[in-house]
Amino acid sequence: MSGTESGGGDAERALELARALDAAADWLGGADPASGWGGARLPREYHVGDFALPSASPGEAGESGIDLEADRAAVSACELCRLGATRRRAAYGEGSPRPLVLVVGEGPGAEEDAQGRPFVGPAGKLLDRMLQAVNLSRDTNCYIANIVKCRPPNNRDPAGDEKEACLPWLERQIEALRPLVILALGRVAAATLLGTEEGIGRLRGRWFERRGIPLIATYHPSALLRDEAMKRPAWEDLKTLRYRLDDLLAVPGDGGAARGTDGAPGVN
């Protein structure tokens, strides 16, 4: 099966994309939770959104007036909340400077605290595979961040005042990065970004809009590592995200054909 054999046509192409996604989903549900996303990649020819947005030109970067590298340095010394006293390194965020997707987690764990990077522990490794399954990656077209940039001791949930103190950093990241879509991972990220008390079971898989940016939530990869049964609904959520992205990126009249790979390099 290939894009050229499809004979073209938006409907046919969409059907083939759906089939390709579902074929990839067959990889889910193995006994080994870590193997669930392995190999679950879409054939390249089905991706219309397989590229980063054009790199921010100096003019565009100036639009928000926000210098993320200056913010990163400020966060590394931030003491706006008590987490500043116990962290080893703040995990500010990393990825494409013009991401299709801004992925938002809860807060750094032990590994992230040691490395100063988001999602680099076991949950992060699973996250990378989940993103890869829908042709997304922090190296090309995603940016990864958290609600709080410093590790809550013993991986407890961040407290209300800690989230409140830290959120302006994320707001500035959103403003500067201007992602097409936000993916919230888990209850803390979803509920905080949406300003609700609802649980993730009710929030996941639905489209919201947050300050003009479409937002979808799914289960946190740590939850998927604990409970493999959650992988399938998470996969449905990722497909929903992928379809929306492809819709947002489709150029009317090009039949959904792939349009180059302007992969902006990832930044740490």
Considering only residues 134 to 173 of the shown chain, the ones binding ligand URA according to CB under 6 A are 146
Closest to ligand URA by CB, 17 vs 217, is: 217
Smallest distance from ligand URA to CB 122, Å:
9
Contact window for ligand URA (CB under 6 A) among 70-78, 121-129, 233-241, 249-257? 121-129
- From 90, 103, 123, 191, residue interacting with ligand URA (rule: CB under 6 A): 123
Closest to ligand URA by CB, 123 vs 191, is: 123
Smallest distance from ligand URA to CB 83, Å:
13
Considering only residues 66 to 105 of the shown chain, the ones binding ligand URA according to CB under 6 A are 91, 105
Total binding residues toward ligand URA, as defined by CB under 6 A: 13
Phi, psi of 101 (to 5 degrees): -130, 130
Q: Which residues contact 186 (CB under 8 A, 6 or more apart)?
A: 105, 106, 200, 217, 219, 220, 222, 223
DSSP class of 157:
P
> Torsion angle, CA of 62/64/69/74, rounded to 10 degrees?
130
Positive or negative CA dihedral for 261, 61, 174, 268?
positive
- From 84, 93, 95, 109, residue interacting with ligand URA (rule: CB under 6 A): 109
Q: Which residues pair with 184 in a beta bridge?
A: 104, 217
- The structure tokens listed for 149 are 């940039």
Residues of this chain that bind ligand URA (CB under 6 A): 91, 105-109, 112, 118-119, 121, 123-124, 146
